[in-house]
Amino acid sequence: MKVLIADDHALFRDNLSIQLEAVNSECIILQASSYNQMLKFIETDNHISLVVMDIDMPDMNWQEALTEIKEKAPQAKIIVVSAGEDAGTIRRSLELGVSGFISKRSEPEILQKALQLVLEGGTYLPPSVLQPAAGVVMQDSTARTAKTLTNRQNQVLGLVAQGLSNKQIAYQMGVSEATVKLHINALLRSVGATNRTQAVIMAQKMGII
């Protein structure tokens, strides 16, 4: 598996390479020091499975860079790393299709857990984005939506918000993956979402989680 790390600090790239190798010793790791160099790698190599990119590099807007990656390498998973944890930025990056948002201040074991989760097909979200904003009052429509969720759907929603894959959710709940998929499809309809990530974002905005 090929992984591309894009960050303008060589020390961070090297440290992240070590963490990735601890998670998967068979990773082939490429390094880029700018968005432009990152995109050149992607244009010339269609076997990149994972892109880990800093959200703050000077040569391009990060949202533009994410859009370029999705267009040039739709098969690649994307993890964003950042020195901050602005909730709006996290939600926007998820809307643009990333599979994880990791703070550079994370402890090594948290970083490894997040990387492993994404490699297994899950989505990693910082705890801060899963907590309802202070002072949020649930509106009637939101309350009705929350009430339409069954106990199982609420349980699935919580596990999806933790970034667990369908297989991991099935193991924790003691059910089949097919059953988990049924619960997730019902959950998406209930909150009006089209995918797992959007469901988490909408549920968080509603104050359900």
Superfamily name and number for 2-130? Response regulator (3.40.50.2300)
Of residues 161, 96, 164, 107, the one with CA closest to residue 132:
161
pLDDT tens figures, 126-150: 766 555 443 333 344 444 444 457 7
The answer to whether domain 2-130 and domain 140-206 are alike in fold is: no
Comparing 170 with 205, which gets the higher pLDDT?
170
Q: What is the pLDDT of residue 208?
A: 62
pTM of the model: 0.65
C-alpha dihedral, 145 to 151 to 154 to 155, nearest 10°: 180
Enter the tokens of residue 141: 């429509």
Band the pLDDT of 182: cuts 50, 70, 90.
confident
Calpha distance 195→185 (Å, rounded): 9
Q: What is the pLDDT of residue 59?
A: 93
Q: What is the pLDDT of residue 140?
A: 41
What contacts 49, CB < 8 A, 6 or more positions away?
Answer: 1, 2, 3, 75, 76, 77
Domain spans in the chain, listed from the N-terminal domain onward? 2-130, 140-206
> What is the fold, at CATH topology level, of the domain defined by 140-206?
Arc Repressor Mutant, subunit A (1.10.10)
Q: What is the pLDDT of residue 84?
A: 84
pLDDT tens figures, 84-130: 888 788 878 888 889 888 888 888 888 888 888 888 777 787 766 55
pLDDT tens figures, 30-72: 999 999 999 999 999 989 999 999 999 989 999 999 999 999 9
pLDDT at 153 over 90: no
pLDDT at 205 over 70: no
Q: How many CB atoms lie within 10 A of CB 1?
A: 13
Of residues 83, 102, 112, 77, the one with CA closest to residue 9:
83
